[in-house]
Amino acid sequence: MEKYKHEYGAEQIQVLEGLEAVRKRPGMYIGSTSVRGLHHMVYEIVDNGVDEALAGYCTEINVIIEKGNIISVKDNGRGIPVEIHPKTKISTAETVYTVLHAGGKFGGDSGYKVSGGLHGVGASVVNALSSWTEVTIARDGGLFNMKFEKGKTVQKLERIGDSDKTGTLVRFLADDTIFESLDYEYEVLEKRLREIAFLTKGLKITLEDQREETPKKAEFCYEGGLISFVEYLNRNKEKIHPKPIYIERAGEVPVEIAIQYTTSYTENIYTFVNNINTIEGGTHLEGFKRALTKVFNDYARSHNILKEKDNNLQGEDIREGITAVVSVKVKEPQFEGQTKTKLGNSEVTGVVQSMVNEALSTFLEENPQIAKAILEKCVSASRAREAARKARELVRKKSNLETSTLPGKLADCSSKIADECEVYIVEGDSAGGSAKQGRDRKFQAILPLWGKMLNVEKARADKIYGNDKLNPVIVAVGAGIGADFDITKIRYGKVIIMADADVDGAHIRTLLLTFFFRYMRPLIENGNVYLAQPPLYKLSKKGMEDIYCYTDEDLDKAYKDLQEKGIARDTLSLQRYKGLGEMNPEQLWETTMNPETRILVKVTMEDAIKADEIFSLLMGDEVEPRREFIQKNAKYVKNLDI
Ligand code: 28F
């Protein structure tokens, strides 16, 4: 890849503005000051090491979360240049860390790199938003070191010794007066670092969490790149062909794609632009989908799999069961959409489309066995889609009167203004009864769930419509499912899952989340799905108002608080709620349903993806990973009926 067109002259660094602006409006530079922005700080520094790897000079990056939430990132690249920068008259390294937009990420022909992250503004922003930063560089036979506080240089770059190695080590403590919290989540970093390793073939990335007594560690290095990525995503699924299909093209817009079909019914296409996950898709995804549809239809026609009288296969038929990763590199990416994760560059559609057209049709011609297996699946998907359409029409015909179709057990609310209405989906009749009595019937509806659990993993849309557990949910929400789902038709602004805090509750929650994720995804993306949080404990004492605790920490804190008020532990009576059914209607209202006092947790796409993964594991086809999972989690899942 032609990333480094010429040796870098330090004078190319653009000197734009001071770091004061960054501290004044951190959100503009790092996205947010929530824990999400905090993790972005790490990615910004790691990205610089990754760029060194993409340039061909770095093979390993080590990330450590040290005690006290100090982040340490080290690479074995060339080391940031240490000589005096002709424009700023200070070292290049100090310039990179103190001058906003240094590093040439902005400005198209800076020659240094294709623009990075969502907020790819780099090291100086991280420096500005840190209580302190320390940079150590091994280069030119020497070891150099500089220090900053809140972006200001407190120790200029100085030579502290000799070194026969090269590389860069950065340690920083994010500023707790800027970020809401400094609690890095190991799993979040782990997931992103693994992703970067997949996307950067051969790069070794290690992660270590030293905050606990026994440190957590992980190491990622994938010689297979995207192929390994797809194999990883499909690790618990049954594959239709053993090896992922891999296609690659260099050029102005380098494209790399890996594809593998599974026997599942879902579509999993992940797209990246310059290693950034474009969750909202965009022009690269568009080009990929168009080519996929054309190539498979052309092949099916020319090999007589589709006869003259047959309709073309639709895109969704061809994408059923697909797992694919599409990675493109774009010099000046335009990001659009709500979360700025949608690629807008129109020229990319054609580039991806023509390269997939060419490479994939060649692959199919050369691998007729695989082509046949995939197309068989597409054809049966197309038949199932037809069957689902007929089933839907039947349902529609039967339902002339809008209200008569509402599920019998639904206790609807009186308001018809979706925005103010909520539906509680409750497992079990006794909890359903309490909820019905306890609710505010003006805006709260209750849907008790009963009937046989459906294995969403193994069911297609036509079966889902007929399922007695899920059908009431579909009808109550009122907006259809799958490609028909129309968010403007939802009957409730909040869809709230209220389940017990036990294994069965977890099961029903996972099932519903998986169902929403797969069949009503916009409902989750739009933030309409919530989890009710019933209390785990009640502390009571004569003459004292009851105290409800939602977690074990809550309970500890309540005991301590009461102790300070002179109320001893052994004078309190503790009730542990085993299920929602144990609460009377008033208690349920007060603790879990009253908008003034309840806790609702909004379900994010990440939550839903996690539920989907757990579900695939528990319900999917591959026996081995399921057995492993159950053995590992035996004490949690022993009651599960699978
Ligand atoms: C732990 C984080 O930041 N690694 C980096 C390099 C290497 C070069 C460089 C970085 C020069 C003009 C900016 C070296 N030799 N890891 C890192 N490794 N930056 S950051 O150059 C910075 C540019 O403007 C480097 C020759 N060219 C580039």
Question: 415-438: per-residue pLDDT in tens?
Answer: 999 999 999 999 877 788 999 999
Instruction: Answer for the pair 99, 124: CB distance below 8 angstroms, yes or no.
Output: yes
Whether 500 is catalytic: yes
Structure confidence at residue 640 (pLDDT): 37
Burial of 35 (0-12, 13-18, 19+ CB in 10 A): middle
Structure confidence at residue 110 (pLDDT): 35
Q: How confident is the model at residue 141 (pLDDT cuts 50, 70, 90)?
A: very high
The proportion of the chain whose per-residue pLDDT surpasses 90, expressed as a percent, equals 68
49 C-beta closer than 6 A to ligand 1: yes
Whether 504 is catalytic: yes
Structure confidence at residue 246 (pLDDT): 98
Instruction: Answer for the pair 587, 580: CB distance below 8 angstroms, yes or no.
Output: no
pLDDT tens column, 393-411? 766 555 433 334 677 789 9
- In this predicted structure, the answer to whether residue 124 has a pLDDT above a threshold of 50 is yes
DSSP tag of 159: E
Structure confidence at residue 353 (pLDDT): 98
DSSP tag of 577: -
Q: How confident is the model at residue 642 (pLDDT cuts 50, 70, 90)?
A: very low
Ligand 1 centroid–CA 630 distance in Å is: 46
77 C-beta closer than 6 A to ligand 1: yes
Q: Which of 175, 500, 525, 612 is catalytic?
A: 500
138 C-beta closer than 6 A to ligand 1: no
Pocket test for ligand 1, best of 52, 130, 146 (most atoms within 8 A of CB): 52
pLDDT tens column, 354-407? 999 999 999 999 999 999 999 999 999 998 888 777 776 766 555 433 334 677
pLDDT winner (highest mean) among 345-349, 573-577, 586-590: 345-349
Give the N- to C-terminal CA distance of the chain in Å, as an integer: 49
Counting from 1 in the atom list of ligand 1, the atom nearest the Cα of 46 is: 2
Integer Cα distance of 57 and 113 in angstroms: 14
Shortest-distance Cα residue to atom 13 of ligand 1 = 103
Its pTM stands at 0.69
Q: Could you give the domains of the chain?
A: 10-220 (3.30.565.10), 226-385 (3.30.230.10), 404-534+602-636 (3.40.50.670)
Structure confidence at residue 508 (pLDDT): 83
- In this predicted structure, the answer to whether residue 229 has a pLDDT above a threshold of 70 is yes
Structure confidence at residue 197 (pLDDT): 98
- In this predicted structure, the answer to whether residue 533 has a pLDDT above a threshold of 70 is yes
Integer Cα distance of 84 and 358 in angstroms: 50
Rg (CA), the chain: 28
DSSP tag of 420: G
Mean pLDDT of 33-51: 95
Counting from 1 in the atom list of ligand 1, the atom nearest the Cα of 123 is: 3
Integer Cα distance of 17 and 102 in angstroms: 10
Please give the residue that has the higher pLDDT: either 514 or 342. 342
513 C-beta closer than 6 A to ligand 1: no
pLDDT tens column, 265-310? 889 999 999 999 999 999 999 999 999 999 999 999 999 999 999 9
127 C-beta closer than 6 A to ligand 1: no
Instruction: Answer for the pair 266, 518: CB distance below 8 angstroms, yes or no.
Output: yes
